[in-house]
Amino acid sequence: MSLTLEQKTRLTEFCKTPLLAVLATVYRRGAPQAVPVWYEFDGESFIVTSSKERVKVKNVLRDNRVSLCIIDTSHQGRGFNIRGTAQVVEEGAQEATRRLAIRYLGEERGRESSAGMAAQERVIIRITPEELV
């Protein structure tokens, strides 16, 4: 199943504000792991970055089913819960980390924060939304 054009348009508009999201992945034994993440949405997929050694990355590599929950707590909890699949991509991870840091922290603090993460081996978790619930 894939999202309709109307759903993609609603998500694109909603995701302009840098809200935190909660990414849920599946542990090896089947239990969920949920972690807060920064993200961006390009109209087709969500981008999240991470250090390559994190459990969420290992979970996605083993089982690519994910859920992403985004809530705007300043507007009576308006939000989206997205189910989809994810893939881990290495190319462009440092640049994506820099963009996300600037999106959430502003230009100066974002550049400083991403510079501090430059020594880490970073990856992108690219989430393809398949269903809004």
Dist. CA 55–CA 5, nearest whole Å: 33
The domain spans of the chain are 5-132
Q: Which residues of 90-104 are buried (b: 16+ CB within 10 A; e: fewer)?
A: eeebbebbbbbbbeb
In tens digits, the chain (133 residues) has pLDDT values of: 789 999 999 999 999 999 999 999 999 999 999 999 999 999 999 999 999 999 999 999 999 999 999 999 887 778 999 999 999 999 999 999 999 999 999 999 999 998 888 889 999 999 999 999 8
For residue 119, the tally of other CB atoms under 10 A from its CB is 7
pTM over the 0.85 mark: yes
The alpha carbons of the chain give a radius of gyration, in whole angstroms, of 14
Task: Give Cα separations from 39 to 1, 27, 29, 31, 87 (angstroms).
Answer: 22, 21, 27, 23, 15
Pick the CATH number of 5-132 from 2.60.40.1170, 1.20.140.10, 3.20.20.70, 2.30.110.10: 2.30.110.10
